[in-house]
Amino acid sequence: MAENKSCAFRTSIGGQALIEGILMRGPEKQAIVVRDQEGHLVEKVEELKLIKDRYPILGWPLVRGTVNFLDSMVKGVKALMYSADFYPDEEAAQPSKLELWLEKHLSSKKLESVIVALAVVMGVGLSLFLFMVLPTFLTGGLTRFFPAFPMWGRNLLEGLLKIAIFLLYLFFCSRQKDIYRVFQYHGAEHKTIFCYEAGLPLTVENVRVQPRHHPRCGTSFLFVVIFVSILISSVVFGIWPITNTLLRTAVHLLLLPLVVGITYEFNRWVGRHVQDSGLARVLTAPGMWMQNFTTNEPDDSMIEVAIRSLELVLPSEKGKDEW
């Protein structure tokens, strides 16, 4: 860990835990490495095609946050589906009538696109419902029973509910037996990136001793999204006090791209300064703590997967991945 603190290098390489595998994304390529049921490592490497290269405006600050978030979700869902194919659910082996109909009327490529789109929409929709719509409706119900309840009190209560729901969501996810191993791979991903940033050889021994909590983790990102949304909505509703629940929900949704954009830029700043700025460490402390729910200590076989996935996305030019 002393190596980590003294090392100034921060990589832009990041990853995602899969089912018995890891997706790692570098500046030029992304790689999926899965350990199959026979214990072999299966590798899939793709060149990255960034939409900002075709439309430069999508790479502008505050805009790129939402674009990168959606892009990461789509690629993440595809990778998760790919890894799941190595461990089919026996109970779901028989396709449903809907699946049979889709297979009959759509090509395999179109079918995959439809499934990915549905998964992304459902994932985003569930997140919006839990962390934005539900708190707004709950506080809206409260104000009906207590009309004199002040607007600042509603804003505060709505923010506390968002954080409470997020914590409960993380807690219940972490208690799921099948998710435990996924979170072990998550820990392996973080440890491997720390080892690489420290300039150490990528060996199981070197990776094993690294911390499993990383300041640029998606868990921290989601927490900051919620926190930034609380701050922005408090300012907006302080200036424009909206009591109608539906209208209030609509404003939350309209503000979401701005919230994600600000959070992305915040994470970029934190990624560069977390080791040399006390303020950055304080601001990232809550998100780092929440990684206790979403990362577990990996075994050596998981670390091997993480190491291989990172090796596959290292840039051809040294330093090209510097954050």
pTM attached to this predicted model: 0.85
pLDDT for 30 equals 95
pLDDT band with cut points at 50, 70 and 90 for residue 294: very high
Question: What distance in Å separates the CA atoms of residue 181 and residue 160, rounded to the nearest whole number?
Answer: 30
pLDDT for 92 equals 52
In the chain, the percentage of residues whose pLDDT exceeds 70 is 89
pLDDT for 6 equals 42
- Cα-Cα-Cα-Cα torsion 10, 13, 16, 21, nearest 10 degrees, comes to -110
Residue 271 has pLDDT above 80, yes or no: no
Question: What distance in Å separates the CA atoms of residue 74 and residue 300, rounded to the nearest whole number?
Answer: 29
CB-CB contact of 13 with 189 (8 Å): no
pLDDT in tens, 90-109: 555 566 565 565 566 566 66
pLDDT for 33 equals 97
- Can you say how many angstroms the Cα of residue 174 is from the centroid of all Cα atoms in its chain? 15
Work out whether the CA dihedral 273, 274, 277, 280 comes out positive or negative: positive
What DSSP element (H or E) covers 187? helix 177-197
- What average pLDDT does the chain have? 86
pLDDT for 36 equals 94
Q: What is the three-state SS of 261-322? A: HHHHHHHHHHHHHCCCCHHHHHHHHHHHHHHHHHCCCCCHHHHHHHHHHHHHHCCCCCCCCE
Residue 114 has pLDDT above 80, yes or no: no
Q: Give the range among 79-93, 198-212, 257-271 with minimum mean pLDDT.
A: 79-93
pLDDT for 5 equals 45
Burial class (CB in 10 A: 0-12, 13-18, 19+), 30: buried
Task: Pick the more confident residue, 281 or 255.
Answer: 255
Residue 285 has pLDDT above 90, yes or no: no
The mean per-residue pLDDT over the stretch 281-289 comes to 85
pLDDT in tens, 23-66: 999 999 999 999 999 999 999 999 988 787 788 888 888 899 89
pLDDT for 202 equals 96
- C-alpha pair distances (Å), 173 with each of 15, 85, 182: 19, 22, 11
pLDDT band with cut points at 50, 70 and 90 for residue 279: confident
Q: Give the range among 49-63, 217-231, 274-288, 295-309 with minimum mean pLDDT.
A: 274-288
Task: Pick the more confident residue, 33 or 323.
Answer: 33
The mean per-residue pLDDT over the stretch 70-82 comes to 90
Question: What distance in Å separates the CA atoms of residue 112 and residue 102, rounded to the nearest whole number?
Answer: 10
The mean per-residue pLDDT over the stretch 295-308 comes to 97
CB-CB contact of 163 with 249 (8 Å): no
Question: What distance in Å separates the CA atoms of residue 129 and residue 123, rounded to the nearest whole number?
Answer: 10
Phi and psi torsions of 321, nearest 5°: -95, 10
Residue 192 has pLDDT above 90, yes or no: yes
Question: What distance in Å separates the CA atoms of residue 113 and residue 122, rounded to the nearest whole number?
Answer: 14
Domain boundaries, the chain: 2-85+98-313
